Amino acid sequence: MYEGFLPTTKKEMEELGLTRFDFIYITGDAYVDHPSFGAAIITRLIGSLGFSVGVIAQPDLTTDKDLTRFGRPKYAFLVTSGNIDSMVAHYTAAKRKRSDDAYSPGGKAGKRPDRAVIVYCKKLREIYGSVPIAIGGLEASLRRFAHYDYWDDAVRPSILADSGADLLMYGMGEHQITEICTRMAEGEALSEMHDIRGTCYLTEPVNTPIGAAQCPSFEQVSTNKTEYARATKIQYDQQDEIYGKTVIQRHGNMMLVQNPPSPSLTTEELDRIYALPYTRRYHPSYEAEGGVPGIEEVRFSITHNRGCFGYCNFCSIALHQGRKVTCRSEESILAEAERITKMPDFKGYIHDVGGPTANFRHPSCDKQLSAGLCKGKKCLAPTPCPALKADHSEYLRILRKLREVKGVKKVFIRSGIRYDYLMEDKSDEFMRELIKYHVSGQLKVAPEHCSAVVLDKMGKPHIEAYKKFRKRFYEITKSIGKEQYLVPYLMSSHPGSTLAAAVELAVFLKANGIRPEQVQDFYPTPGTISTCMFYTELDPYTMEKVYVPKSPKEKAMQRALLQYYLPKNREIVLKALKIAGRRDLIGPSPECLVDEPHGRSSEVPWKKKSKEKSRSHRNSKGSSAGSKGVKGNAGKGSRYRSGE
């Protein structure tokens, strides 16, 4: 097993006495050997199985030099775009080209191609012909079915068909890659591996497995939005590792077959994965370019769980990691903390002990262990399920022990906290210690919106849950003599959000003293339920029509309303309020959002508003939550989770 970085050059390969590698791993990210990067986990796992593996990170495609660096692998090329979809990495929600890339040396954009998985695979086919190729990672995982592509504004076929690869691994990948490596070493062809859970393959229709759940075909979903919505529901309904069926979707004269999901890793398996000898650094070859920015936030962080039963409609986790929560053992987490304290530049601060949702340590209920998660339902929205088991005792015990590790000054929690789940815990012990020990002045939470209609389309709890949490947060903060703030993540222009709903959110923000420095426009990333709604204007679970703000003009108005207080937004907010018929919010009153230019008063004088309405606004005012401002990575794919 490699103790240092894996080989990245021909010279390093030869120094190991190798003439070729068993597997060659190609990634669109810079090479970072940290377990927050899927490439590091998969390559380290391959090495631990006794196979040799070389890494080609961000190959230069203007020549064949990089892709021929190691020659042809003994078994297969493994291809990924990196931690996030290459199109999300390159473009904002407004489809503007990004000037930076956190997963590239020096943070510079342009080190990988658009649609990296497809481009890499096609180039490998040009050079090596029928060499075995397996694809994986987030880009492959979320594009495994025919999918709406926001950048093309069209439905594209499965990335397996577009790339020409032999096999697609979806999900986290450890079980799949272990089986692939073992079976290839035994002489089995990658192209004939049609029974591995957590994989997809293409076959002639005559070979289609019996008893599969069939989606409308690529040809149907690319021309009929109702069929697209139907396909989305079928796909999501079969993603449970307990009851999920094989899913099939015809693509021309071939059949795409998705085998049932791979079982989640057990605690023992997760412990072994996180005990592999990661250097926890970017490759030293990037030093001259200033390193790789993407590691900075996670370098001294610990992942303690996987999966998320929160199941927000705009999030990719349900289709990638899955809804079942699994976790590492206390011993494994503490051992990683000990390793972190020995890193030469560790200053005593563990930046995070989290995961997709930091405060999930267990499945949401006992039933799902044998029967799976409820099909088409959410554990927390619109209200918590009566079967929900909210318990932070184990997580709290781990945090207490981490605080006692020699060399640790502070343990922060920076990944998302589900406040609605937290409030269901009968004990407030965790909340008290969270506020006292694990918040660095600001706690980021994600109410996203205040309109019940919009929150229902997001799959989020109603705003009453946030209000209840906010009240308790500030009570505890005050009782322990701290000045700390909630930093709410907010999203504009999600399906279901009318201009009236955006105004409602602006009024809520004003009434509660929240002035977000950043907001996130809804980003229709591949494979999510919200993206289905954006494209089809249908809710795939009810088939009801959904209002979708699509024009740049309306999206700009909805975004500006969330930052109504900025002078640069005054004109567009005025226009939005007039279109929405809310002239009552224009004027000099403290309860209005903006005043008319040049001191002109509103056509509906604020003084004529009913006393009841004014009083209700005053009564709804709370603490100055968020007065420090939102400092999240809005617009940078923050809800498009990274994975393997």
549-562 residue pLDDT tens: 999 999 999 999 99
Task: Summarize the confidence of residues 177-197 as an average pLDDT.
Answer: 98
pLDDT, tens digit (0-9, with 9 covering 90-100), for 293-340 = 999 989 999 999 999 999 999 999 999 999 999 999 999 999 999 999
Asked if pLDDT for residue 639 goes beyond 50, the answer is no
Q: What is the pLDDT of residue 326?
A: 96
What gap in Å lies between CA 57 and CA 70, rounded to an integer? 13
Largest Cα separation within the chain, whole Å, is 86
The DSSP line for 77-136 is EEEE--SS-HHHHHB-TT-PBPSB-TTSGGGBS-SS-TTHHHHHHHHHHHHHSS--EEE-
CB atoms near residue 30 (< 10 Å): 29
Q: What is the pLDDT of residue 413?
A: 95
Asked if pLDDT for residue 618 goes beyond 50, the answer is no
Percentage of the chain exceeding pLDDT 90: 90
What gap in Å lies between CA 73 and CA 131, rounded to an integer? 8
Count the residues in the chain.
644
Asked if pLDDT for residue 15 goes beyond 90, the answer is yes
Which SS3 state, helix, strand or coil, does residue 301 take? strand
Q: What is the pLDDT of residue 49?
A: 97
Cα angle: 612, vertex 615, 618; to 5 degrees: 155
End-to-end CA distance of the chain: 20
What gap in Å lies between CA 153 and CA 554, rounded to an integer? 18
Task: Summarize the confidence of residues 447-458 as an average pLDDT.
Answer: 97
Asked if pLDDT for residue 631 goes beyond 50, the answer is no
Structure token pair of residue 291: 């390193």
Which SS3 state, helix, strand or coil, does residue 485 take? strand
Confidence at 598, pLDDT banded by 50, 70, 90: low
Q: What is the pLDDT of residue 519?
A: 87
What gap in Å lies between CA 75 and CA 188, rounded to an integer? 10
| Cβ–Cβ < 8 Å for 423, 434 | no
What gap in Å lies between CA 241 and CA 196, rounded to an integer? 13
175: domain CATH number?
3.40.50.280
Q: What is the pLDDT of residue 440?
A: 85
Asked if pLDDT for residue 265 goes beyond 80, the answer is yes
Q: CB within 8 A of 221, min separation 6: which ones?
A: 146, 155, 215, 227, 228, 231
What gap in Å lies between CA 286 and CA 393, rounded to an integer? 42
| Cβ–Cβ < 8 Å for 423, 472 | yes
In a domain, residue 81? The reply is yes
In a domain, residue 454? The reply is no
Task: Summarize the confidence of residues 2-15 as an average pLDDT.
Answer: 92
Asked if pLDDT for residue 617 goes beyond 60, the answer is no
Task: Summarize the confidence of residues 7-31 as an average pLDDT.
Answer: 96
Confidence at 1, pLDDT banded by 50, 70, 90: low
| Cβ–Cβ < 8 Å for 532, 229 | yes
| Cβ–Cβ < 8 Å for 312, 304 | no
Number of structural domains the chain divides into:
2
Torsion of CA 120, 123, 124, 127, to 10 degrees: -160
Domain limit, last residue, from 199, 223, 249: 199
Structure token pair of residue 555: 């999206």
| Listed residue (46, 37, 248) closest to 160, CA to CA | 248
- Looking at residue 114, its amino acid is D
Domain limit, last residue, from 167, 199, 231: 199
In a domain, residue 500? The reply is yes
Backbone angles phi, psi at 203, to 5 degrees: -145, 165
What gap in Å lies between CA 507 and CA 585, rounded to an integer? 9
Which SS3 state, helix, strand or coil, does residue 513 take? coil
Asked if pLDDT for residue 101 goes beyond 50, the answer is yes
What gap in Å lies between CA 465 and CA 454, rounded to an integer? 15
DSSP strand pairing (147-149 vs 53-57) = unpaired
In a domain, residue 501? The reply is yes
Domain limit, last residue, from 199, 234, 249: 199
Task: Summarize the confidence of residues 410-426 as an average pLDDT.
Answer: 95
Structure token pair of residue 498: 């009318």
Q: What is the pLDDT of residue 321?
A: 93
pLDDT, tens digit (0-9, with 9 covering 90-100), for 31-69 = 999 999 999 999 999 999 999 999 999 999 999 999 999
In a domain, residue 453? The reply is no
Q: CB within 8 A of 186, min separation 6: which ones?
A: none
Q: What is the pLDDT of residue 597?
A: 77
Confidence at 3, pLDDT banded by 50, 70, 90: confident
Partners of 606 in the beta sheet?
A: none
Show the domain range for 39. 10-199
The DSSP line for 557-586 is HHHHHHTTTSGGGHHHHHHHHHHTT-GGGB
Confidence at 610, pLDDT banded by 50, 70, 90: very low
| Listed residue (510, 460, 494, 461) closest to 618, CA to CA | 510
What gap in Å lies between CA 630 and CA 557, rounded to an integer? 20
Task: Summarize the confidence of residues 459-483 as an average pLDDT.
Answer: 96
Task: Summarize the confidence of residues 523-538 as an average pLDDT.
Answer: 98
Asked if pLDDT for residue 17 goes beyond 90, the answer is yes
User: Across the chain, what does the average pLDDT equal?
Assistant: 92
Q: CB within 8 A of 171, min separation 6: which ones?
A: 141, 198, 261, 262, 320, 321, 322, 643, 644
In a domain, residue 22? The reply is yes
Task: Summarize the confidence of residues 183-197 as an average pLDDT.
Answer: 98
Q: What is the pLDDT of residue 500?
A: 97
* Cis preceding linkage at 588, omega within 30: no
In a domain, residue 274? The reply is no
Q: What is the pLDDT of residue 222?
A: 98
pLDDT, tens digit (0-9, with 9 covering 90-100), for 103-121 = 999 999 999 999 999 999 9
Confidence at 506, pLDDT banded by 50, 70, 90: very high
| Cβ–Cβ < 8 Å for 490, 445 | no
Element (H, E) at 188: none
| Cβ–Cβ < 8 Å for 490, 505 | yes
Q: What is the pLDDT of residue 566?
A: 95
CB atoms near residue 387 (< 10 Å): 12
Task: Summarize the confidence of residues 413-438 as an average pLDDT.
Answer: 95
Percentage of the chain exceeding pLDDT 70: 92
Residue with tokens 């008290």: 432
